[in-house]
Amino acid sequence: MAMVFARNGWRCALGAWVSPESAPRENFALYSESVEALAGSGLTGYLSVKLASLGYDQALFGELVGAAARRGVRIHCDSVGPESVDRTMDVLEKAGALSEHLGSTLPAGWRRSPADAEKLAALGVAVRIVKGQWGDPERRVGDLRAAFVGLAGKLSGRGVPVSVATHDRVVARRSLDLLTRSGTDCELEQISGLPLNCAPIASEAGVPFRVYIPFGYPYLPYNIWQIRTRPVVALWALRDFIAGRHRSVR
């Protein structure tokens, strides 16, 4: 597996998960540390954050994005529930000139996502399409696969980078086909801890492959990085895994 990573030059995404009890300034400090860890890692990666953890504070978010942009790191706004989307969109819109250094997640299971895709494309914000962890209170879409591929189609040729984040091989192939045929800057992304079963599909499509690495609290029960609570340690683990070596962690 280490040889596969090295040969293909896979990208990474660092997902800092924080406690709901931690204050926005505490979370800001962790995110800032994560940016520095990514910038110094030698890996091509972005940092995924939840705007609610910063209290939707425009100034705090702008400070984080500005610092990350100077270090060549993109800040990605992860999804929570549908009720958070309007506030997230407002913060992204007010980020203005920093939009090229931003990304946002679109859950295919929400009926509002096609309209949100239009807004994000107009703002010039990179998009990560997922099936979605949280349900839509207004009624989940009937055909989730079709909704996912539909979002890929809507974003095709719109001039913003698109990440197809799925372990569903059928959805991955259909989405990447739409995006690559339109010349859209796109990639395939999968979460660590589950089989990276779509890596060959990314290779076949000629697009980059990215591994999403969540760390901190809370974490998914199947996540192999669940004991990593510092961003630099999570990156050490990934880098050493790629190189096929081990590092003692204190």
| Tens-level pLDDT at each residue, the chain (250 residues) | 334 444 668 898 998 888 888 999 999 999 999 999 888 877 888 999 999 999 999 999 999 999 999 999 999 999 877 888 899 999 999 988 888 899 999 999 888 999 999 999 999 999 999 998 766 667 667 789 999 999 999 999 999 999 999 999 999 999 999 999 999 999 999 988 777 889 899 999 999 999 998 887 654 443 444 444 455 545 555 554 444 443 333 3
Q: Is the separation of the CB atoms in 152 and 164 below 8 Å? A: yes
pLDDT of residue 94: 93
**CA separation for the pair 224, 75 (Å, rounded):** 23
pLDDT attached to residue 248: 35
By the 8 A CB rule, do 10 and 210 touch?
yes
Q: Alpha-carbon distance 178 to 153, whole Å? A: 6
Q: 214 φ, ψ to 5°?
A: -80, 145
Which amino acid, residue 20?
A: P
Helix axes 58-70, 85-94, angle to 10 degrees: 60
Q: What is the pLDDT of residue 3?
A: 43
Which domains occur in the chain, in start order? 2-243 (3.20.20.220)
Q: For residues 27 and 206, what is the distance between their CA atoms, to the nearest angstrom?
A: 36
- Residue 63, both tokens: 């400070």
What's the chain look like in SS3? CHHHHHHHCCEEEEEEECCCCCCHHHHHHHHHHHHHHHHCCCCCEEEEECHHHHCCCHHHHHHHHHHHHHCCCEEEECCCCHHHHHHHHHHHHHCHHHHHHEEEEEECCCCCHHHHHHHHHHHCCEEEEECCCCCCCCCCCCCHHHHHHHHHHHHCCCCCCEEEECCCHHHHHHHHHHHHHCCCCEEEEEECCCCCCCHHHHHHHCCCEEEEEEEECCCCCCCCCCCCCCHHHHHHHHHHHHHCCCCCCC
* Tokens standing for residue 126: 């990179």
Structure confidence at residue 2 (pLDDT):
36
43, 238 Cβ separation under 8 angstroms: yes
